[in-house]
């Protein structure tokens, strides 16, 4: 596995790979890799000739400086994991070299996908994600890029971004990988103490209860939200950022649950903000 820190060096290697006609798979990450990331790498290995992983805690996408500073890091163990997965190139840029002159003062928006959920409660977050993805896609020129559906809104935004800007990259979303109690794997879980971890397990519990209600024929998004909220708030450590019931295609709100329905939530467990979502198929 080649470990590369410089954009120019990576660009040169990518040009050679492109000339040889090989297909490039790309897994962009912010590190502190877990099984969810490894699943993305395995999919990249299956579908591409050359797999590239980037690890870069992108300052442009944090609206809270403390959150940025506290983001967990473990580059040595991450490199080992990438090596074990057979990754060909690990891109580890340094922030000041990645954004010479600081984070660019530019704002990219996809308004119809950025009017609710994290776009509203983390102002500027997706604009920052698009800045880094645009830079990374230009350097890596991936044929395929892989993202986890835990960040469902991010996945839809990046897919639409790649399509509408003509990157020629096929963006795939992979199912969320979960802990045995159902908690979605996230690098942020490492910041939970034992009490917070116990409270976090109320999130998958709320989804299980939502699933049961839907099976019993509940059609009201309001009732679903209310019951999930009661379950999550049964721990005083939990604070709800949002619980939304949406159309999974375009993230618009729905009056009554039918067909495919996305339930998306964000919860502060102590200081740590966790997100999760589930897709339900409602029987008519």
Residues that bind ligand PAF (CB under 6 A): 28-30, 58, 61, 129, 132, 151, 154
For the bound state, the minimum distance from the C-beta of residue 76 to ligand PAF, rounded and expressed in Å, comes to 19
Catalytic one among 37, 112, 125, 138? 37
H helices of 20-124, in order, are 35-47, 65-70, 75-84, 95-98, 118-121
Q: Which is nearer to ligand PAF, 59 or 248 (CB)?
A: 59
Alpha carbon distances (Å) from 279 to 88, 223, 244, 260 = 34, 17, 12, 7
Sign of CA dihedral 47, 48, 52, 56: negative
The helix (run of H) or strand (run of E) holding residue 171 is strand 170-174
- Which of 78, 61, 81 lies closest to 136 in space, CA to CA? 61
Question: Minimum distance between the CB of residue 30 and ligand PAF, rounded to whole angstroms?
Answer: 4
Q: Is 55 exposed, middle or buried (0-12, 13-18, 19+ CB in 10 A)?
A: buried
Is residue 43 within 8 A of residue 174, CB to CB? The reply is yes
Give per-residue burial for 162-186: e unless 16+ CB within 10 Å, then b: beeeebebbbbbbebbebeebbbbb
- The terminus-to-terminus CA distance of the chain in angstroms comes to 51
Q: Which residue has the tokens 């295609």?
A: 249
Which residue number, 28 or 93, has a Cβ lying nearer to ligand PAF? 28
Query: What is the closest distance, in whole angstroms, from the C-beta atom of residue 136 to ligand PAF in the complex?
Result: 8
Whichever of 129 and 245 has its CB closer to ligand PAF, that residue is 129
Least Å from the CB of residue 240 to ligand PAF: 22
Q: How far is the CB of 179 from ligand PAF (least distance, A)?
A: 18
CB atoms inside a 10 Å sphere around CB 2: 12
Q: Is 104 or 253 the residue whose CB approaches ligand PAF more closely?
A: 104
Smaller CB separation from ligand PAF, 172 or 229: 172
**37 is an active site residue:** yes
- Residues labelled catalytic: 37
């Amino acid at each position: 596995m080649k470990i590369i820190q410089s954009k120019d060096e990576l660009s040169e290697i990518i040009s050679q790979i492109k000339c040889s006609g090989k297909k490039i798979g790309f897994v962009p990450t912010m590190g502190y890799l877990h099984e969810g990331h490894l699943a993305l790498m395995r999919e990249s290995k299956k579908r591409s000739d050359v797999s590239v992983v980037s690890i870069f805690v992108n300052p442009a996408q944090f609206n809270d400086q403390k959150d940025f500073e506290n983001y967990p890091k473990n580059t040595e163990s991450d490199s080992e994991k990438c090596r074990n997965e057979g990754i060909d190139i690990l891109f580890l840029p340094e922030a000041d070299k990645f954004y010479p002159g600081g984070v660019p003062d530019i704002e990219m928006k996809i308004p119809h996908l950025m009017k609710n959920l994290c776009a509203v409660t983390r102002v500027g977050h997706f604009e920052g994600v698009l800045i880094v993805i645009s830079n990374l896609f230009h350097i890596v020129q991936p044929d395929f890029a892989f993202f986890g559906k835990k960040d469902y809104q991010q996945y839809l935004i990046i897919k639409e971004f790649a399509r509408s800007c003509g990157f020629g990259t096929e963006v795939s979303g992979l199912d969320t990988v979960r802990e045995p109690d159902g908690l979605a794997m996230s690098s942020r879980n490492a910041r939970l103490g034992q009490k917070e971890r116990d409270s976090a397990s109320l999130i998958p519990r709320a989804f299980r209860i939502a699933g049961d209600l839907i099976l019993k024929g509940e059609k009201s998004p309001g009732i679903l939200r209310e019951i999930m909220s009661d379950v999550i708030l049964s721990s005083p450590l939990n604070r709800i950022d949002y619980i939304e019931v949406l159309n999974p295609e375009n993230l618009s709100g729905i009056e009554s649950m039918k067909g495919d329905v996305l339930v998306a939530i964000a919860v502060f467990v102590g200081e740590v903000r966790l997100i999760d979502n589930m897709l339900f198929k409602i029987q008519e």
